[in-house]
Structure 1
Amino acid sequence: MPGRFSVALPVVSRERIEETLAARWGLRGTFVPLNGERDLNFRVLVRGQPEGRSRVFKICNASEDASMLECQEQVLARMAALDGLEFPRVVPTVDGESRATIRTDDGGLHLCRLTSWVDGRLFSGVNPRGATLHRSLGQCIARVDQALQDFRHPALERRMPWDLCRAVEVLEAYRLPDTDPGREDLIAGFTTLYRDRVLTVSDTLRRGAIHNDANDNNILIGLPAGTNERVCGLIDFGDILYGWLVSDVAIACAYAMLDNDNPLDIAADIVAGYHEQHPLLPEEVGVVFPLACIRLCLSVCIAFHHQIVEPENSYLGIGTMSSWRMLEILSEVPPDYPTQLFRDRCGLRI
């Protein structure tokens, strides 16, 4: 089974969080809860500083180890060199450490970390979105992948449910109940498409360190409101792994298509933006559509099982209905059409 992780969020009192921030980072302030799949996250409004100098305090899930946090810290250090894009930066403790530990209410010891707050509006809340913005998204993802091109770390070789390379294995492990045969058939159809169009060419797909979670709540658009033309940053490197390079652009397409009348046109602009910055191989362009579809399949199936374990965590179900609706729409698309559209938008000979 591909690394089922615990989704039970750590339980920590506000008093203990305040004590840890004061003792380890010398900070005091107020806390605003943030969404998280498996970690406990807060925006910290630091006392005596303007709102733009906020911090993000993360208390890691029990399954997270120091090696993965070290990997993420090295990645964020690389991201800091990318001009024109903003990413979280690690805020060291008063002792110069990149992370600390905090004891949860049940006595467990969890890793925790403080990072800078990145200003911007979430992609999920921005409307309207035009072709320029979608191309900007593709370019942003491409620049991240380029910056990680030669990055290696042992923690990247992880087994986790969000790894598109293991999609068939994951979907088998997170099967839906037999009570909804229509949705089971939908998943089965996209799994067949994935087997036929992705696994048959997997040896030709480039691999590398990838962000692996460019969903619409991790993409930031520039301020002020009304400036809807450019992606200004990317957050949450918690799902980073070593996988197919093309997975990143496919994941961005999957979430950007949700709740839109022209999903493939949107995806084509994202692919074209990526290709302009970091040219895709013809084989990679050919797997974007099935990979985007299989990502949405993973999203709905994993969410179903995680909500059983953690029903109070509303974040686990974000976008589920939208994903099902989009899967129904995409199931009607002739499988060769998206590749033709993407290649044409990229200026590639068909």
Structure 2
Amino acid sequence: MRVKTEEAIRALRGALKLYGFEETSGIELIKYRENYVFRLTRETGDSYAMRLHRAGYRTDDEIRTELAYLQVLGEQGLSVPEVVPTLDGEPMCRVQAEDGTDFQLDVQRWIEASQPLGDVAEALAGTSSLEPETFRRLGILAAELHERTTAVERVCSFQRRAWDSDGLVGDAALWGDPLAVDGLGRDDAALLRSAMARLKRELDVMDTSADGYGVIHADLTPENVLVQDGRLIMIDFDDFGEGWHLFDLATILFWYQPHPQYEAYRRELFEGYSSVRPLPAHYPASWEAMLLARGLTYLGWAGERSGDPEAAFIAEQVVPMVLEQARHYISTTISPARTGS
């Protein structure tokens, strides 16, 4: 459920005392997608990201799990946001809007003097000026994340949903039904339905051993990697959970498929990753399947949000690319064989 921005800010102000923040602190809306994200600036000049979660989207335990992982990963030296607890040491709290709706709130320290690595529209248009070397660094970053999440035992009872076969293309896929996206014709729907059935069979037998499956970010788009003095920082772990490590790599490159340097980007991404941890043997053969799975999630997301400007962008710009992926996938794949357990 969404409330008006002014009402959300009033709800936030009621919680400032829980963090020891001045009630006169400035609050600025940064974005609204799944959650509201505000920037709070204190009288001291310190800034914080305040995330007001969409009501009912996550449970308290799911959010606590995310924040617990952020803390552990930060302590291990990974470049991630710093969680700011309440004065009572709680990683999150609840606030109430004027209409009585309860929202979860968490606070992270603002990453100063930073900017997003890129933009999905620019990437999709093929006009990104990023050099292939940047994707080598992204591969290293993803591998370092997977190294640490593989080594860390499940924390906070681990309450997160999985980007597994069911989560990606099952009947209750995490981001919704791809066939619900606006403007999909009958023949296109039939094509996607056929590709999804074949993809489901392939994912059902894909290796889920620890060398290629575990806790992942799940949303490593160019907007969710910040650049600060040349350092790459991963943000927005809202969708993190269990899944194939390859899914993170597919997310990094999905939007850059139309780019003239796509093949160089992919080569550098994989080489950077393999410089930190070995690439499982099935990665090359599973790459197109994982790219298609990533694309289908975006169609499902748009189908759940008909009328949203970003959903309209996906219907117009992403659907044609995913349809072409589906055609290629059906024409080139054979019946999958089990790759591990």
Which TM-score band applies after superposition, normalised by the shorter structure? 0.7 to 0.9
Question: Is 1:39 equivalent to 2:35 in the alignment?
Answer: yes
Give the distance between the partners of 2:224 and 2:165, measured in 1 at CA: 18
Q: Cα gap change, 1:317/1:117 in structure 2, threshold over 3 Å: closer, same or farther?
A: farther
Any idea what SS the aligned residue of 1:152 has?
coil
CA RMSD of the aligned region, Å?
Answer: 3.2
What's the CA shift string for 1:161-219, capped at 9, x where partnerless? x6555322158861237851353245335425524644343456733111111122211
Give the distance between the partners of 1:285 and 1:260, measured in 2 at CA: 20
Q: Cα gap change, 1:81/1:289 in structure 2, threshold over 3 Å: closer, same or farther?
A: farther
Q: Which residue of 2 aligns with 1:180?
A: 185
Q: CA deviation at 1:248?
A: 1.8
Q: What aligned pairs does 1:64-75 form with structure 2 within 5 A after superposition?
A: 64-75=58-69
Q: CA deviation at 1:87?
A: 1.4
What's the CA shift string for 1:291-321, capped at 9, x where partnerless? 12211111022212223xxx4x545556554
Any idea what SS the aligned residue of 2:14 has?
helix
Give the distance between the partners of 1:250 and 1:69, measured in 2 at CA: 25
Q: Which residue of 2 aligns with 1:242?
A: 242
Any idea what SS the aligned residue of 1:260 has?
coil
Q: Which residue of 1 aligns with 2:100?
A: 107
Q: Which amino acid aligns with 2:169?
A: V
Q: What aligned pairs does 1:1-350 form with structure 2 within 5 A after superposition?
A: 8-11=1-4, 12-27=7-22, 28-49=24-45, 53-63=46-56, 64-83=58-77, 86-119=79-112, 120-125=114-119, 127-149=128-150, 150-153=152-155, 156=158, 158-159=160-161, 163=164, 165-170=166-171, 174=177, 175-176=179-180, 180-188=185-193, 190-192=195-197, 194-195=199-200, 197-202=202-207, 206-223=212-229, 232-255=232-255, 257-307=256-306, 311=307, 314-315=309-310, 321-328=316-323, 330=325
Give the distance between the partners of 1:334 and 1:17, measured in 2 at CA: 47
What's the CA shift string for 1:39-73, capped at 9, x where partnerless? 22111222331xxx321111122222221122112
Any idea what SS the aligned residue of 1:41 has?
strand
Asked if the contact 1:92/1:98 (under 8 Å) is kept, the reply is yes
Q: CA deviation at 1:262?
A: 3.9
Give the distance between the partners of 1:188 and 1:262, measured in 2 at CA: 31
Give the distance between the partners of 1:262 and 1:124, measured in 2 at CA: 15
Aligned-pair identity in percent equals 16
Give the distance between the partners of 1:192 and 1:74, measured in 2 at CA: 36
Asked if the contact 2:96/2:103 (under 8 Å) is kept, the reply is yes
Q: Cα gap change, 1:142/1:334 in structure 2, threshold over 3 Å: closer, same or farther?
A: same
Any idea what SS the aligned residue of 1:146 has?
helix
Asked if the contact 1:212/1:240 (under 8 Å) is kept, the reply is yes
Q: CA deviation at 1:78?
A: 1.9
Q: CA deviation at 1:24?
A: 3.6
Aligned residue pairs, count: 315
Give the distance between the partners of 2:140 and 2:235, measured in 1 at CA: 15
Q: Cα gap change, 1:282/1:21 in structure 2, threshold over 3 Å: closer, same or farther?
A: same
For structure 2, the 5+ residue unaligned runs are 123-127, 334-341
Moved over 6 A (4+): 334-338
Give the distance between the partners of 1:187 and 1:41, measured in 2 at CA: 34
Any idea what SS the aligned residue of 2:15 has?
helix
Q: Cα gap change, 1:142/1:287 in structure 2, threshold over 3 Å: closer, same or farther?
A: same
Any idea what SS the aligned residue of 1:80 has?
helix
Q: Cα gap change, 1:23/1:77 in structure 2, threshold over 3 Å: closer, same or farther?
A: closer
TM-score, normalised to structure 1's length?
A: 0.77
